[in-house]
Copies of this chain bind each other. A is one copy, B any other.
Amino acid sequence: MAKRERLMATIKEVAALAGVTPTTVTNVLRNRGRVGDATRERVLEVVAAQGYRPNLNARALVERRAPTLALMLGCITNPFYPEFTLQANNAARRHGRFLLVCNTDYEPDGGTRFLADVAGSLSDGILVANNGELRIDELKAIQATGTPVVISIWELPDNPPGVPCVAFDSHKAGFIAANHLLELGHRRVGALVGSAKNGIHGGRYQGFRDALRAQKVKHVLADARFCSDSFQSGFDAALDLLSARPDLTALFVSNDLPALGALNAAASLGLNVPDDLSIVSVTNIELASQSRPSLTTVAIPTAEIAEQSVELLLKLIANTPDVAPVIRTTDPVLVKRDSTAPIRKN
């Protein structure tokens, strides 16, 4: 790439024009040290006239720290992640930090190069919010170089990953969803799981099954479909399951996006939700309140997860002693909307 002349003044030029030392310029711009009012005004005038802006790279080198936090996202077009990003962004800003979003969709190495290039230089801490496979070893390698890493969303009861994380009880989310259907009288309940059987939604599915088992309601694998966390995949899986098992009166879906696909599939089959079929899911993205019918779902504490992961990361950056490696959030809660109803008696 061609070299380009910078038009921006250096701090030395600003200092010379204002008749002060570069340190004084820095003190004025960072509001520290003792600088007289007249000097301050003169410096600010030169700064404005020259269009000078402090170079963050230089500052980061001098202070041995970078000015931002990075958020690694695996799937920016899944609407959960923009909502999470907004919350994490706001938390970072409340702590005076900027959040850089690094979108790793379709990176052939799952974002490893992005991590390696960003860690410790552009950012001094990294939040990871992937919905796919996490390369825990890679995250540990970044940690080992001195850049803290926090996994933003971990699903208990999966074993803690050995990297600091914020975790919510995904088993309980599935348990609550299933109990809601049981309380409405449903006994023939199918499941759509937005991951492989033992994948990221395994805890949610296990919670669902444990609730059914506690009420001695039979659920066999033939009543479940495993798909991916997308509208289309949920649509296809629901079409398949509901065609094979027309006697089902309710569906548990492990995430809102495939549940919205399932709503659409039910309509395609001429099923009225909730009169013919109840659907409950997990997460509570904004779209869950906008679908028709609106979606009953078990809300995970997205804002709290974002806030806690930013705070955990900042504690690690500050070398705070005795930081717990797993921060547990409050429990998920049922949000009752229009996609679930009592089973019809006939």
The answer to the question of A329 belonging to the interface, with a C-beta cut-off of 8 Å to chain B, is no
As a 0/1 sequence over residues 46 to 88 of chain A, the CB contacts with chain B under 8 angstroms (1 = contact) are 0000010101111011001111100000001101011101100
Residue of B nearest to A257 (CB): B290
Measured between beta carbons, the chain B residues less than 8 angstroms from A261 are 290
Within 8 A of B (CB), among A1-60: 1-8, 51, 53, 55-58, 60
Taking a contact as CB atoms under 8 Å apart, the answer to whether B68 and A122 are in contact is yes
Taking a contact as CB atoms under 8 Å apart, the answer to whether A117 and B56 are in contact is yes
Taking a contact as CB atoms under 8 Å apart, the answer to whether B231 and A290 are in contact is yes
CB-CB under 8 A for A51 and B141, given A2-B319, A318-B2: yes
Copies, count: 2
How long is the Cα–Cα vector from A107 to B97 in the complex, in angstroms? 12
Residue of B nearest to A6 (CB): B146
The answer to the question of A194 belonging to the interface, with a C-beta cut-off of 8 Å to chain B, is no
**Chain B nearest Cβ from A28, distance in angstroms:** 16
Within 8 A of B (CB), among A255-286: 260-261, 263-264, 267, 286
Within 8 A of B (CB), among A288-346: 290, 292, 317-320
The answer to the question of A100 belonging to the interface, with a C-beta cut-off of 8 Å to chain B, is yes
How many A residues, CB 8 Å from partner? Answer: 68
Residue of B nearest to A90 (CB): B106
Taking a contact as CB atoms under 8 Å apart, the answer to whether A120 and B55 are in contact is yes
Taking a contact as CB atoms under 8 Å apart, the answer to whether A53 and B93 are in contact is no
Taking a contact as CB atoms under 8 Å apart, the answer to whether A56 and B141 are in contact is no
Residue of B nearest to A4 (CB): B319
Measured between beta carbons, the chain B residues less than 8 angstroms from A105 are 86, 89-90
A contact set with B: CB distance below 8 Å: 1-8, 51, 53, 55-58, 60-61, 64-68, 76-77, 79, 81-83, 85-86, 89-90, 93, 98-103, 105-107, 114, 116-122, 141, 144-146, 231-232, 260-261, 263-264, 267, 286-287, 290, 292, 317-320
- Apart from the given pairs A5-B146, A61-B61, A89-B105, 5 other A-B contacts in the complex at a CB distance below 8 Å: A4-B65, A7-B145, A8-B145, A57-B61, A100-B101
